Copies of this chain bind each other. A is one copy, B any other.
C-alpha cells in the first residue's frame, strides 16, 4: 500500500459525495457541494485536482470533461478512520469506543440484534450463522 495520509476535512466531504454517487464530474460534485456550502467552481476543481495528485481520486481524461473516481472505498475509509480513532483516543480498547458510540446514538433494536449476533460469532467462530 502506498498513500497513508489522512484526507483533510474538505477532502472528506468530497469523498462522501463520491461514495454516494460513484464516478462523477467536477460539475456534479460542485453542484452537490454548493447545497450546503457556498463556494466557487474553481475551488472544487482545484480541490479535486489536488486529491488526484495525492492519489485520493483517479480520473479518466479521455473526454474533455474528466470523470473522477474515488480511489478508496467507503468501507476502507471507514475502517481507516476507526483505526485512527482507536489509536489516538482509545488506546487498545475498542470496547470503550463501542460504548461511546452506542451511548449517544441509540441504535434500533434490529441494530442491537445485529451487533449481538456479530459478537456471538466473534466469541464462537465455529458456530454457523
Residues in A97-112 with C-beta less than 8 Å from chain B: 97-107, 109, 111-112
Q: Given B79, B85, B112, B116, which contacts A82 in the complex, CB threshold below 8 Å?
A: B85
CB-CB under 8 A from A106, the residues of chain B are 122
Complex alpha-carbon distance, A86 and B82, angstroms:
10
Given A89-B81, A96-B78, do A118 and B105 touch, yes or no (CB 8 Å)? no
Identical subunits present: 2
- Closest CB of chain B to A60's CB: distance in Å? 27
Given contacts A78-B90, A83-B104, 11 further A-B contacts (CB under 8 A): A12-B89, A77-B89, A82-B85, A82-B100, A85-B85, A86-B105, A94-B107, A94-B111, A95-B107, A99-B118, A112-B119
* Chain A binding surface, main DSSP class: helix
Could you tell me if B102 and A94 are in contact, using CB atoms closer than 8 angstroms?
A: yes
Could you tell me if A123 and B109 are in contact, using CB atoms closer than 8 angstroms?
A: yes
Interface size on A, residues (CB 8 A): 40
Does chain B have a CB within 8 A of A2? no
CB-CB under 8 A from A16, the residues of chain B are 88
Chain A interface (Cβ < 8 Å from any Cβ of B):
9, 12, 16, 77-79, 81-83, 85-86, 88-90, 92-107, 109, 111-112, 114-116, 118-119, 122-123
